[in-house]
Every structure is written in C-alpha cells, then in structure tokens.
Structure 1
C-alpha cells in the first residue's frame, strides 16, 4: 500500500478547455430535445459551465479529503479509498461502483457510514480499467478475486461485507458465490436482467412482466451496452479525444429522456456530474472501462460456468427509478433475506438519496448476526 493523492497537471486542464472550445457541433433537429440522444442545447450550456464555472482544483481537493492508496494485486494496479469507522467495532465493507460512474459514486455516503456506533471501515476501490486503477480491464469474476485479496491479504480482514450495483453488482455477486467463507453478507440495488434464455415455465407472472419491461428498455435504451460488448475500441477514439463526446455518451445513459435537472440530480448535482466525467478524462480510461463489457461478454459466451447461487445472506433494495425486478428474480441468484422497495432514488442512489441509501446499508448489515 502506498498513499495516493489526485494531482492533475494544469496542462491537462488547459488542453481540456481548448478541446471544448474547439468542438465541432453536429447540430440537431429543431425541437428534438433528447429524442435522438443527448440534447445539443443542453450540452452547449454544460460545456460553457465546464469552461467558465467548474473548478477542478476545488473538486480535486474534495477527492483528496479521504485517505487513498495504490497497491498491486496479480499484476493489476488498484486504487482505493480506505476510511476507518469511528465506532467501537466497525464492520469492513467494500463498495463497488459501476459504469458510467466511478469510485466517486459513494462520496456522499462516506460520512454517513463511518460515524456513530454502527459504523463501517469503508473500502472503495476503482475497478481495473476505471479511473486511477489504470487501463487494464478484466471481467467481473476476476475483479471479485482481486477484491478478495485486497480485503484479506492487503488489508488483513478475516471476513467482510460487500455491496454494489450495475457493474458492481456482478462483482459483488461473484464475491458471494466464489468466496462464501470470507464474505459475511452482500447487498444489491439490481441483480441483472432476463436475456431471453430463461425457461418461461419457471418464471412467475411478476418475472414475466419484468422481462417484458427489460426487452422494451433494451431496444430503446440498451445500444450503449451492445456497443461496449462488441465494438468498444471503435467507440473509444472519439470519447478519448473529445470531452464533449465523452460527456454526451455518459449523459445519454445517465437518465435517457429525462430533463437536465433530473440527469444532474442523478449524479448529485452539476459539479458532481462533471467530476465523474473528469475522472474518466484525466485518466484516459473511458476506453478501458468499456472494454470490461467485452471481457464479461467473452466470459459469458465463451463457455464459462455460470456462478452458483450463493447462500451468503443478501439484502436487496429496489429504487423507484431503477428497473423494478421482483423478489423471485433476485432469489434465482442470491439468498435473499431482506427485500425492500425504496421511496425515492434511482440507478445512482448513493448520489441521489445518500441518507436513504446509507440507512438501508446500515440497517441490513447490522441485522446480520
């Protein structure tokens, strides 16, 4: 473990602003809004704010307010935050982010989970290929193996807890399935989606309804995942070269069809949205982050054995602007001992509704004896 701090040269920020100013805007149909993808009208407003009002050095200082480290495991450089809980016996908890977010996904819940008697030692790593963990990607099961070594060998915890959503869901599910001897309990905000290979005779009416919703969503909003899983390198050239293109791609996923204020809220505000984008930009990891989808696709379709259902206790929270999967769907993969429909929030709940999300994690993990 070596202490780490974010310190981006000013030349990188100057180059960023020059690239934004020199953007060749493609134009958009009159009155199209967000119907064809990210709105150019909105994106121009965001770009102007990015150049004139956004303060990277202020955000960099916030990124450095919590202890960060670098280590190497099995040849992978791993960046992670480690924030010790202040209770008498804090539980070690590893939180895994997804795409298109980053370890920054959890920054608003850190003070909520490290204070008080029911606190946690929070370990918040950057997935390989994302942010400060470098540009080498691997699949979700391999990441789970790295996390197990990070927690037990590097940090010395005998047992630990884990939570994740989106890409982090796959990593967390693999942790529970492959390492039940060291994983005490897991928590999820999603558990994957029906892909048409399920036997309909084994599906409940609620699961069939969920599958119908997913199929419709996949056709209307799922193109990004298909590109990532098939042609990530073709996409990478534009996203790594143009900050506006990078922002447009991330925004199109953030909350498709939603008004700008809701998209920004999903990331915790305009500055938080741009800081998340900046983590990809300053590290040049947008290409390697999307390649993880290809790595998972190769593993899935290349004959790898599916994960066995784990008996590790699992908590599930379904947020209202997330895909509404029923309990039966979750029970196909994990040992659900807690299932809760939340009142507010969506895919980025830790950023959108940090108090509710932190309360859910604390309530669940401290109920496990």
Structure 2
C-alpha cells in the first residue's frame, strides 16, 4: 500500500473540444406534444438550458481551483488507486471522520462541509476530515474484476484509515455510503468506533429469537402494523416506505433506474458514456426528485439549495473520468453480493446516530433503528433531502458536531 499526492486535473484540450462538439450538436429525443412535467423522466425543457450552460458558461478551471485548496491523494490498496481528500485539523481534540457518499454523487457532495468540520465551526467539535471516493467513482480507479460490493470496498476504506494512522475513527455515510458505513460498523468495529448516517439500512423487528428476546414489544408493534398500517401503529409521518425490495419498481416508480443499474448496467452505459447530454439528463432526474422539497412545482429544475455550478460539477466529474459506467456497475455488485442480507440484518453495537432529512427517499420508524443499533442520537430535520451536505450544509455540520461531541464526552474514542 502506498500514498501519493494528487491534483484535480484540467480537462485535456482534445477532451474539451469533444465535449463542446457533442453539446453543441446534441440530438434531443422525441417527446409528447402535451406537457407531462417530470412523470416520464427529465423533460427537454429542463435539460436543454443546462446543456447550454455547460457549453457556454460553466468554468471547470474555476471549480478545479477551489477543489485543489484541499489535499488530494491516491492510495494504492488492493491493487486499486483510491482517491481521497485528507484535511487534518489543527485542533488537538479533533476526531478522525471518514465521509462516504453514494450515487449519483462524487466527493464533491461534501465540498461545503470539509472546512467547517475540520476547523470546528462555531467553536464546537473539530474533525480530521477524510473524504474517500469509492472505486469506480470519479478519480478512484475502477475495479477490473467482478465482486467489488460493500464488503470489499468497505475493507479498502478501513485499510485507508489505518494507512493514515487512524486506528480509531468515526464514519458518516449517505446513500451507498451509509451501507458501507454500516459494514464498517459491523465488521471493523475494532477501528470504526461510531457510525453516523442519514440513510440507515436495517430490517424491521421481525419475530426472530433475537428480536423476541431483546425487543418483544417492538416485535408486537411491528406485527400490528402489518394489519393496522404503519401510520396507525407508529404515528403519521413516522415512516416512508414505498418499495418492498431493492428494485421494487411496481410499488416505487423511483426505483426504475435502480432496476436497470442492478441488472443490466453495461447496456445502459453505452448511452451515458457516449452522450454527455444523456449523462446530464440521467443525473438531473435524481437531483430534481431527491432534493427538498419532495413535491416541487414542475417548473422547478433544481432546488435553490443546489446551484447549477454544483450540479454541473458532479456531472463533469463523471464525464471527465469516464466513471458513469463503473459507478452504475456498483449497483449490480451490491445486488449480487451474498453478504448483503447479513449486513442488513446485523445489529450495530457501536454508537450510532441517525439524522432524517425531510426530503430523504425513505424513512424507517425510530423503533426499528433502535432495535438494530446502539442508537445514541436521533433527529428528524425539517429541511434537506438526499444530499444534505449540499442542501443544508450548516445543519449537516451542526448535527455531526453534536454526535462527535457526544462520543468524545462518553469516551467512545481514545
């Protein structure tokens, strides 16, 4: 294993010329004459102005300069060059914090929170901030062989933290990062000492011997909810569960993308790799649907909390690194990972914090999370969606700082 410095690169002139040519000569798809909003996916009226902005106004060099204010590195682990940011704090009481994102994001999802977390904003808890890029996303090398699901990538990130001499650390995860965070919390708890998430992965308190022994009342309530309904048993707004599985398109139309990425990522990738317009539209639908508020007017493309520059930077990173295919392929690896069932069923024994933001895709009753983890901090936040560090960064920083202060006070870390 080795570490070497890295700098976010300029776009090579020939690549930039190709991008501009494709954006300038984009061929748009046939659509209905009737305006159907976003029901069929991202509409042309929303996509085309962003394409024009990408072509005429977006400045990668300006954004690149901002990103290069941080210390970027490549670590070679398990034969892969893994990109990460490492920003040590000057505060002697700082806690090592590993930030993990999911899809369709990159490390840039955390660009607003790195400095405040590092510097201990508002004179509260400070962190040694590590933002790691999953293999196959952005500037991390893509796996060359099948099988790089949560277990392999989780182990890579634990090795990374040890390589940085952080033998004990806290992990935060959103989206797939939450899944990787739980894997670390379950299987690397000798190093991962606390787990913070905005997207917990757990099963309900079903009548297994373990649940019946430890949480009989929670099991009874769950069984009652199957008959009386979730709102009746747990309270209105206590849960948001639409699908019944990873790719349950019938019960959750939002999972259409997940179904194809988890089963036929290769076929999809030809269009997304060759067409920057197709790539933009595919990602745009998620940034429109998954941000707060959930029920937006059809005239809104992106929420006020996510700028056009921020969105186009995410898209540009995927395009520049040709990583959309390898990032979507991760869905296939997770869907076919035999260890995922054990991971979802496992109980997290280390201190756990959950923050539910208002526009998050799913929400489990607090009692389910309590039964499946050592829950030390729980919040329901009235703003933000699936990308809270972008949408409401100050709230996000404050929540993580409170958890850091809690585990420091209780001496969960040395």
TM > 0.5 fold call:
yes
User: What does the per-residue CA deviation read over 1:198-244, in whole Å, with 9 as the maximum and x for residues that have no partner?
Assistant: 99967263994547534598532111111111001110000000011
Please identify the structure whose Cα radius of gyration is greater. Answer: 2
- Find the aligned partners of 1:82 and 1:126 in 2 and give their Cα distance: 12
Q: Which runs of 4+ in 1 moved over 6 A?
A: 197-202, 301-305
Q: Normalising by the residue count of structure 2, what TM-score does the alignment of the two structures yield? A: 0.82
- CA shift, 1:193, in A, is 7.2
State the superposition RMSD in angstroms. Answer: 2.6
Matched, 1:109 2:116: no
Matched, 1:233 2:266: yes
How many residues align? The count is: 367
Q: Secondary structure at the match of 1:122?
A: strand
- Find the aligned partners of 1:67 and 1:240 in 2 and give their Cα distance: 29
Equivalent of residue 4 in structure 1, options 6, 24, 33:
6
In the TM superposition, 1:1-369 aligns within 5 A as: 1-7=3-9, 8-29=11-32, 30-116=34-120, 118-136=125-143, 138-152=148-162, 154-192=163-201, 203=222, 205=225, 208=230, 210=239, 212-215=241-244, 218-256=251-289, 258-259=296-297, 264-265=302-303, 268-300=306-338, 308-322=346-360, 323-368=362-407, 369=410
User: What does the per-residue CA deviation read over 1:323-368, in whole Å, with 9 as the maximum and x for residues that have no partner?
Assistant: 2322123234322111111121010000000000000000011111
- Find the aligned partners of 2:340 and 2:138 in 1 and give their Cα distance: 28
- Find the aligned partners of 1:311 and 1:162 in 2 and give their Cα distance: 14
Q: Normalising by the residue count of structure 1, what TM-score does the alignment of the two structures yield? A: 0.92
CA spacing shift, 1:301–1:123, aligned 2, 3 Å: closer
> Do the aligned residues in 1 keep the contact of 2:102 with 2:177 (CA within 8 Å)?
yes
> Do the aligned residues in 2 keep the contact of 1:134 with 1:283 (CA within 8 Å)?
no
Flag structure 2 segments of 5+ consecutive residues without an equivalent: 209-218, 232-238, 290-294
> 2:292 matched to which residue of 1?
none
Bigger shift: residues 264-273 or 59-68: 264-273
Bigger shift: residues 335-344 or 97-106: 335-344
> Do the aligned residues in 2 keep the contact of 1:180 with 1:310 (CA within 8 Å)?
no
User: What does the per-residue CA deviation read over 1:293-329, in whole Å, with 9 as the maximum and x for residues that have no partner?
Assistant: 1111111489877663121000000001112322123
> Do the aligned residues in 1 keep the contact of 2:70 with 2:87 (CA within 8 Å)?
yes
Bigger shift: residues 56-65 or 357-366: 56-65
CA spacing shift, 1:305–1:62, aligned 2, 3 Å: closer
- Find the aligned partners of 1:305 and 1:341 in 2 and give their Cα distance: 24
Flag structure 1 segments of 5+ consecutive residues without an equivalent: none
> Do the aligned residues in 1 keep the contact of 2:37 with 2:298 (CA within 8 Å)?
no
- Find the aligned partners of 1:45 and 1:212 in 2 and give their Cα distance: 34
